[in-house]
Chains A and B, each alone.
Chain A
Amino acid sequence: EMQLVESGGGLVQPGGSLRLSCSASGFTFSDYAMHWVRQTPGKGLEYISGISRDESGSYYANSVKPRFTISRDNSRNTLFLEMRSLRREDTAVYFCVKDQNGYLVRGAWGFDSWGPGTQVSVSS
């Protein structure tokens, strides 16, 4: 069974930093692109970043560029999201998400595995 588990969320002051991790199991992690999606009460689900299976490509939404950095360690089956210069509007639940393809490409398929999410709260 595919499983994703996020960690690293918490309460941070505006301007601060956090590093989210996502541990993957139940599938060959290095075969698939991975993504981060966040959920806020006001804006619903927002796609914020993705990375290809071999780190040859990555994408960032304008709302997080250049403050966030996505990376992965295929030897440890782990996805990361480094978040800097955090703002109050970054407060959200952050989901780690698995693609059904290895690269950041358009297509008709959805994301077939999600983690339960980790809460990030930015407040003074």
Chain B
Amino acid sequence: EIVLTQSPATLSLSPGAPATLSCRASQSLGNSLAWYQHKPGQAPSLLINAASDRATGVPARFSGSGSGTHFTLTISSLEPQDFAVYYCQQRTNWPPSFGQGTKLEI
């Protein structure tokens, strides 16, 4: 099973600042990586498909990059509603698996 390692576990930033979140895979994924945002008590929401394709309705301040074993989610300028937990997920191999999450806090 592919293991995804996210870093940092917690990221403390202020609104307006940029944010960079990392996801590393135990083996090459090509571009088969997705990113999700999850707020407490809500449904997780898909941000990024295929490492860099923003999902429908996702603001342009969110961008994904990377391939192989190292991927990055960048938020160019944090809005108050962006403070949440972010997960990466692969489906290069079945079953799909998730990273342990990065908590983005104010």
A→B interface (CB under 8 Å): 4, 35, 37, 44-47, 50, 59, 61, 95, 100, 104, 106-117
Contact A106 B32 (CB under 8 A): yes
Identify which of B12-20, B48-56, B74-82 touches chain A. Answer: B48-56
* Complex contact A110–B94 (CB within 8 A): no
Kindly provide the distance from the CB of B100 to the nearest chain A CB, expressed in whole angstroms: 5
How many Å lie between the Cα of A100 and that of B43 in the bound state?
A: 17
The residue from A45, A104, A109 contacting B98, defined by CB atoms under 8 A apart: A45
Q: How far is the CA of A115 from the CA of B43 in the complex (A)?
A: 5
Q: Which 6 A-B pairs have the closest CB atoms?
A: A110-B34, A108-B50, A45-B98, A114-B43, A108-B32, A44-B100
A17 vs chain B, min Cβ distance (A): 24
User: Contacts A95-B44, A115-B43 given: A106-B95 contact, CB under 8 Å?
Assistant: no
Contacting residues, chain B, for A112 (C-beta < 8 A): 46, 55-56
The interface size of chain B toward A, counting residues with CB under 8 Å, comes to 32
With CB as the reference atom, state the residue of chain B lying closest to A110: B34
- Bound: A16/B7 CA distance, A: 38
Cross-chain contact A106 with B36 (CB below 8 angstroms):
no
CB neighbours of A108 from chain B (8 A): 30-34, 49-51, 91
Chain A residues, CB < 8 A from B55 = 110, 112
- Which chain A positions have C-beta within 8 A of B100? 44
Q: Tell me if A47 and B95 are in contact (CB < 8 A).
A: yes
Name B49-106 residues within 8 Å CB distance of A. Answer: 49-51, 55-56, 87, 89, 91-101
Query: What separation, in Å, do the CA atoms of A37 and B43 have in the docked complex?
Result: 12
Given the interface contacts A44-B100, A111-B34, A116-B43, does A106 sit within 8 Å of B94 by beta carbon?
yes
Find chain A residues with CB under 8 A from B44 CB.
Answer: 45, 95, 114
Q: Given that A44-B87, A45-B87, A116-B41 are contacting pairs, would A110 and B46 also be in contact in the complex, using a CB cutoff of 8 Å?
A: yes
| Nearest A residue to B48, CB-CB | A110
- A79: min CB distance to chain B, Å: 15
B45: interface (CB < 8 Å):
yes
